[in-house]
Structure 1
Amino acid sequence: MTYFYDFMLNPYILAFLGGLLAFVLANRIIPVIIYTVRVKNLMDEPGDRSAHSTKTPTLGGVGMFVAFAVSLLLFGILVGLERPDLVKLLSLILATIILVFLGIKDDLIALAARKKFLGQLISTSIVIFLTDVRITSFEGLLGIGELPYLVSVLFTVFVFILVINAFNLIDGIDGLAGAVGIIASFSFGLFFLLNNDFLMVLVSFTLIGAISAFLRYNLSATQKLFMGDSGSMVIGYLLAYQGIRFLELNLSEASTFTISNGPVLLLAVLSFPLLDTLRVFIIRAKDRRSPFDADRNHIHHRLLSLGFSHKQATIMLSIV
């Protein structure tokens, strides 16, 4: 039993097994979702902005979340996380449950932007106030160091909501949000591996496993499925959470591996969704339209208009 426990406490084994379980579970759950959505005709209807021309099952985010949450809970219990980490784990799952239900409602009947923002604010507040997960310092970026508590809370809320909606906005072609999510989560996951942070290793690699299984169907010609807002918002939220925990751990004296200019690396890892969102907001502002008006000015839309396929555009942007 002691050997098994020591085996499980190897962070690299934990990362592999957590990701594998999430992948296997998602592969079992997603076909059930596809069947149910088709039977109930809960399909995504192509519109003026749609990059697709046929009805397609949505709610893939539900399958990803269930696989992620079950894997995270199971391995969190197996490795015997300490009380503070268990509180963080449960708070994180509770917060993402709220986003999943918000996303489901928005995917099926459309949800007012104000209500989506309120839900995102509640989810963000849960981890900030229950577990004190927040950005405490700019580490000298722009000449700013330690942040006052109120500024720290408000800025953390802003970062969460910005990243959630940035990922929601790039989910416009097959594979893109999932591929970028895997790259970003893997980048943070390597840092957590090097610092033996078991909870965050699990968060990073179970998310990778769940997204990888989803991409198998999202890129399929016969069993295509969209993640919907229930998927893109959760991925954005979990990446924002990982990014903030990365900054926290990078400042910790207990860390065995740190990086100079952590905020710069965080911006680099999340650069594509953030820059694309900033770009379309500027274009809409120049046209004197609301920054939240839908259009086809995203980078992935431009690549499609140049003749690239969904897969080609996704691969190109992922490499960049």
Structure 2
Amino acid sequence: MNFFIYTALLFIFSFIVCNYLTPKIRTLMLSKNLAAEPDNRSSHEVPTPNLGGIAFFVVLMLSFYFIASTEYFGVDVVKDVYDPSNIIISLLPGLTILFIVGLKDDILVIAPLSKLMAQTLAAVLFVYHYGKSINTLYGFMGIEDLNPILAGAIAVFILVAVINALNLIDGIDGLAASVSIIMFAAFGMAFYVINHIFLFSVSVVMIGTLMAYLRFNLSSTQKIFMGDTGSMILGFMLGVMAISFLALDPKDIARLPIRGENLPIVTGAILIIPFFDTVRVFLVRIVKKKNPFKPDRSHIHHIIIDKFKISHRRASFVLGVSNFLVIILISFLAVTTSNWLLLTLFICLLILLSLFFFIINKSSWFLKVKVRNMKKQKAAERRRSGA
């Protein structure tokens, strides 16, 4: 079978299955009164089903059979870079744990600490069994080889961080899915170049699944959310992509156009929107002496919507395009730019983004203070005139 046909069939399969399952899940949830009720942070005004992530899990489980059986379908792949049994077995425990925990959290709501423990367990099980590890940073910031224990800890941290980052940006219609499509496409292209067929295939499956999901998530009549079930599965799979990308062998890096020491920066560029938003939100809440895990409207997508008065679709489009442009810019510079210079440029970019949202927040704060003072002044004048 031609590899292009194989890729197209994977995409079509994942799209069709998700497109079939999602409305079924939505109808079942509405019939059982399990829809998410709107609250003070919600943008939806009517109860909306929030278990779209079930379709993600089912599509992934079914796709593993076809991906692992490529040689039986006559797909021409390079055997030494294709090890489906090891990777799939490494993924199954973590995906199952996150699916069960996400399902319970979407229906009953569980404590943040319990959810974090489940995420950590899923990450540890994957890292422990996975055949690859981040043994070296190839000279990033002058760092070469890593201690195996430290490498494992870094991998677990990355997985848990990406899971939570995706969970946090899933606050408006289309954002988590559209940004994830861009990130899976970036990782997928890299794995295609180095001929890592399994991770490339998973990227194709996730893109097809998310495109089908977006059709309903952006609908005004058939709306459904992915919920924690979906966002944690997305975060886990993107974390796996990031770890695998950082754990490439020297021969694989030689096939990529970018310099090996710039690999961590390129990974950061791919994940920039969820990571930037998560770090920024946590720092803002800590500075304001608030619980960093308590939900509010301080996320960048909320700021964009509230400040510029644009729709969810437009905000998601702006952030998705921004993520894409950053990936292109950093990847292009990573080809020839030295590690320290690229790192400096990347940090400057993050500072500029932080200043942008700081200025927006400050201007909004000053406006609120001005309006409040004007109301107080008018109230005082009314009291004086009444006296």
Structures share a fold, TM > 0.5? yes
Aligned twin of 2:15: 23
Equivalent residue for 1:59, pick from 27, 44, 51: 51
**Aligned-residue offset at 1:84:** 4.0
TM alignment of 1:92-131, pairs within 5 A: 92-131=91-130
Aligned twin of 1:228: 227
2:47 counterpart letter in structure 1: K
- The 8 Å contact of residues 83 and 198 in structure 2, kept in 1 or not, is answered as no
TM alignment of 1:247-266, pairs within 5 A: 247-249=246-248, 251-254=249-252, 257-258=255-256, 259-260=258-259, 261-266=262-267
Aligned twin of 1:46: 38
TM alignment of 1:78-89, pairs within 5 A: 78-79=70-71, 84-89=83-88
In structure 1, distance between residues paired with 2:112 and 2:305: 27
Residues 213 and 171 from structure 1, CA distance in 2 versus in 1: closer, same or farther, beyond 3 angstroms? same
In structure 1, distance between residues paired with 2:64 and 2:209: 11
**Aligned-residue offset at 1:19:** 1.7
In structure 2, distance between residues paired with 1:308 and 1:138: 41
Structure with bigger gyration radius: 2
- The 8 Å contact of residues 67 and 198 in structure 2, kept in 1 or not, is answered as no
Aligned twin of 1:181: 180
Aligned twin of 1:200: 199
Aligned twin of 1:313: 315
2:321 counterpart letter in structure 1: I
Aligned twin of 2:293: 292
**Aligned-residue offset at 1:303:** 1.5
Identity of aligned residues (%): 36
In structure 2, distance between residues paired with 1:289 and 1:140: 38
For 1:249-290, what per-residue CA distance to the aligned partner results, in whole angstroms no more than 9, with x for missing partners? 2x3325662221111100000001100111111110111112
Q: Give ranges in structure 1 of 5+ residues lacking alignment.
A: none
2:313 counterpart letter in structure 1: K
- The 8 Å contact of residues 18 and 72 in structure 1, kept in 2 or not, is answered as no
- The 8 Å contact of residues 56 and 233 in structure 2, kept in 1 or not, is answered as no
In structure 2, distance between residues paired with 1:223 and 1:158: 36
- The 8 Å contact of residues 14 and 201 in structure 1, kept in 2 or not, is answered as no
- Partner-residue secondary structure (3-state), 1:210: helix
- Pick which of 271-280 and 80-89 moved more: 80-89
Aligned twin of 2:343: none
- The 8 Å contact of residues 46 and 55 in structure 1, kept in 2 or not, is answered as yes
Equivalent residue for 1:76, pick from 32, 53, 68: 68
**Aligned-residue offset at 1:51:** 2.3
- The 8 Å contact of residues 139 and 263 in structure 1, kept in 2 or not, is answered as no
- The 8 Å contact of residues 86 and 131 in structure 2, kept in 1 or not, is answered as no
**Aligned-residue offset at 1:90:** 2.7
In structure 2, distance between residues paired with 1:38 and 1:279: 36
In structure 1, distance between residues paired with 2:7 and 2:255: 18
- Partner-residue secondary structure (3-state), 1:139: strand
In structure 1, distance between residues paired with 2:177 and 2:299: 17
- Partner-residue secondary structure (3-state), 2:290: coil
**Aligned-residue offset at 1:72:** 2.6
Aligned twin of 2:159: 160
**Aligned-residue offset at 1:111:** 0.9
- The 8 Å contact of residues 98 and 232 in structure 2, kept in 1 or not, is answered as yes
In structure 2, distance between residues paired with 1:241 and 1:219: 27
TM-score for the superposition, normalised by structure 1: 0.93
TM-score for the superposition, normalised by structure 2: 0.77
- The 8 Å contact of residues 164 and 232 in structure 1, kept in 2 or not, is answered as yes
In structure 1, distance between residues paired with 2:134 and 2:214: 31
1:230 counterpart letter in structure 2: T
1:197 counterpart letter in structure 2: H
2:255 counterpart letter in structure 1: F
- Partner-residue secondary structure (3-state), 2:137: coil
Aligned residues: 311
Which protein, 1 or 2, shows the higher relative CO under an 8 Å CA cutoff with sep ≥ 6?
1
For 1:287-307, what per-residue CA distance to the aligned partner results, in whole angstroms no more than 9, with x for missing partners? 111211111000111112121
In structure 1, distance between residues paired with 2:211 and 2:64: 16
Residues 1:146 and 2:145 are matched in the alignment: yes
For 1:184-226, what per-residue CA distance to the aligned partner results, in whole angstroms no more than 9, with x for missing partners? 0000000111121111111111011111111110001110000
- The 8 Å contact of residues 194 and 256 in structure 1, kept in 2 or not, is answered as no
- The 8 Å contact of residues 136 and 144 in structure 2, kept in 1 or not, is answered as yes
- Pick which of 278-287 and 79-88 moved more: 79-88
